[in-house]
Structure 1
Amino acid sequence: MNAEDIAEINKFQVPKDTLGLHVLYEPKTTDNGFVADIVAVHGLGGDSFSTWTDNKSGKMWLKDFLPESQYFHNSRIMTFGYDARAWLLPASKNNSPGRSFTFSESFLGALRSQRILTNTQGRPIVFIGHSLGGIVIKKALVIAQVRTKLFGDIYESTKSITFLGTPHQGSGPADWASYLEKISQIIGIKRSKVLRELETWSPSLLELSRTFSEQLPRLLINSFYEKQLYEGVMVVEEGSATLSYITEVVDGLDANHRTMCKFADRESSVYRAVISQLETRMIEVQRAMERSVPEQKNTEERQSSLELPDVPTSEPVPPQTKEGAGVPYSTSELERRMKALRKLRLQG
């Protein structure tokens, strides 16, 4: 890459204060109601704050609207920011078969630390991802499934994911390259070499879509797709924005790829559509958690019933002797009695 290519990539450098995990809302008490961790992840061309903030009103719905919901006011709401330039930088020249999702590993590390430091491991997790942010979440869960010693809590605790304009499907690398090219158009990538670097993610994204599908049966999924063009481009069409899984809830939003995750007020039809499905999933997660408690108790009771009970014996415990433990007679006394018994038999 030349200097002009690097300059174009640097346009997407996010403010340093947006990097990492940020707690937007922490309930004062969690004694009354269902508690979960809500974590939002942005895509390329956004950051942990601007992606979720309406440009005109300045309202950030994750912080300003979501905590007002009766289903979320007891939950901790967080947003994660990463250096999205990683999508555009040249691939490493090592022997790795695909692009490296280092930002997904950073995401896992930050979330793990937050939960350990606040003693909230085991708390249910609900993820929200916009565009390629959904890809970051998917890869994080694939990593967590393998590296259970470090990230097993995150893997087991994840209950639901809401995807907003995340490309999920493509029959081959060419399809993924097409999606990435359209994303590059709306965020303003003009340098062909930079675009080619973005397109080198195609094989890795295709493989991720296959490996992540193994996790679908255990997750509650919402997938939203855009219904409006952005500067003449339908970035992620309905067919790509869905996972085609039987329990997945799919809905179209009257917004474009950029505005589908920004809401000016609570009365916005787009916000109402999103919050409705988020609240529904929270109810379902809570019910599933409540069902698991008696099921776990019944399992423990069944296991306990299979254990052999301690049966008390009616036989008296033999007295201790100096020469042997639990033997009613000493060795010498026993030998004397045995000799006497043999003598009687011989005499008989």
Structure 2
Amino acid sequence: MAETGMEILWQGKPPITADVVFVHGLRGDRIRTWEKGTVVWPRDLLKDAIPNARIMTWGYDADTMHFMSAVGQSSIAALAEQLLDDLADKRKPKEARERPIVFVTHSLGGLIVKDALWQSYVHGRTEHVYFPRKAAIKKHTAGIVFAGTPHRGSDQAKWPLVATNLATKVFKDNNPKLIQALIRGSETLERLQNDFSKIALQLPIQTYTEDKNLAVNQKVVENDSAILGFPNEARGILPGNHIGMVKLGSSTDTGYERMSNCIANLIEDVLESQQQEGL
């Protein structure tokens, strides 16, 4: 059984200036999703690019049928709330609570982060903030990286194809109940997109598309689904198919260079902005 909860991969060299949080997708794992051979790049490589950042990875029960069941919306909401709880627990000291956060997500794990940030925003906009540590997470988010996340298709009718691709090509499961559960999840996808769009323009966003097919002439998540189309969105390509795009085994891998530079730049940009505001 995959490990769940938040694991610290790199504590960071003082002074710790940011938190980087990795969130895997369905049937993924908080370690194996990011692993190639013996290298887990958030643990083994990224610390060299951002030595003063604390690097964490979050795991959850990634069973697809539970995640995208008929009650999938409440399941995603519950996971999003748990992510907020677990991350807030790691940011208890006041100085930690105010650190910038960068989220790095793969595939449908991006849905959890989108919902978590929406919930954090909701916690913070009430007249009395009952959970200030949860509310602080959205406030201090410095950026989000989405790799192969199916936000929504430009054509709503395309989601059944994405669902079928995920089930048959990624999960290796031809169970029609699984495919139908994923298709029903399109309603959840639209709800998440609508909520997230209300807060997304305040956040730097990087989306990555996959450049290789997992099957003949077909990507799992086509570009028009993996791209949000927001003005504050930078777009890039990661070498590899839907699974391999986040499995990076060397500091010279093109994918690693792009991802590590992106994460480092998001942190550097927010720290420079804070410094300018403090002048």
TM-score scaled by structure 1?
0.73
* Equivalent position of 1:179 in the other structure: 162
Higher strand share: 2
Contact 2:154-2:224 at 8 Å conserved across structures = no
Equivalent residue for 1:76, pick from 43, 50, 54: 54
CA distance in 2, matches of 1:268, 1:157: 30
Runs of 5+ consecutive residues of structure 1 not aligned to the other structure: 1-13, 295-348
Secondary structure of 2:181's partner? helix
Asked whether 1:192 is paired with 2:176, we answer yes
Distance 1:238 1:191 in 2: 26
1:131, CA displacement in angstroms? 0.4
Query: Once structures 1 and 2 are overlaid, which stretch shifts more, 259-268 or 246-255?
Result: 246-255
Q: Which residue of 1 aligns with 2:12?
A: 27
Residue 99 of structure 1, CA deviation: 4.4
Of 133, 139, 147, which aligns to 1:164? 147
SS at match of 1:43: coil
Preserved CA contact (<8 Å) 2:148 2:208:
yes
Indicate yes or no: 2:37 matched with 1:37: no
2:136 matched residue in structure 1? 153
State the Cα RMSD in Å. 1.9
**Corresponding residue of 1:59:** 39
In 2: Cα distance, 1:143 partner to 1:180 partner: 26
- Residue 208, structure 1, aligned to residue 192, structure 2: yes
Q: Distance in 2 between matches of 1:144 and 1:87?
A: 26
Q: Deviations along 1:153-202, whole A, 9 cap, x unmatched? A: 11111110011111122256533332222111221122111221222211
Using the alignment, how far apart are the partners of 1:193 and 1:187 within structure 2? 13
Is 1:104–2:86 an aligned residue pair? no
1:177 & 1:136 partners in 2: Cα distance?
Answer: 20
1:292 to 2:274 alignment: no
| Residues 122, 88 of structure 1: alpha-carbon distance in 2 compared, 3 angstrom cutoff | same
Q: Letter of the 1:286 partner, please give it.
A: L
Q: Report the count of equivalent residues.
A: 268
2:273 is paired with a residue of what secondary structure?
A: helix
1:37 Cα shift?
0.5
Identity %: 31
Q: How does 1:1-348 map to 2 (within 5 A)?
A: 14-15=1-2, 18-30=3-15, 35-54=17-36, 57-69=37-49, 72-85=50-63, 87-88=65-66, 90-92=69-71, 98-101=73-76, 102-116=78-92, 120-148=96-124, 149=129, 150=131, 151-171=134-154, 174-185=157-168, 186-232=170-216, 233-294=218-279
Which consecutive residues of structure 2, in runs of 5 or more, have no partner in the other structure?
A: none
- Shift of the 147–176 alpha-carbon distance from structure 1 to 2, 3 Å rule, reads farther
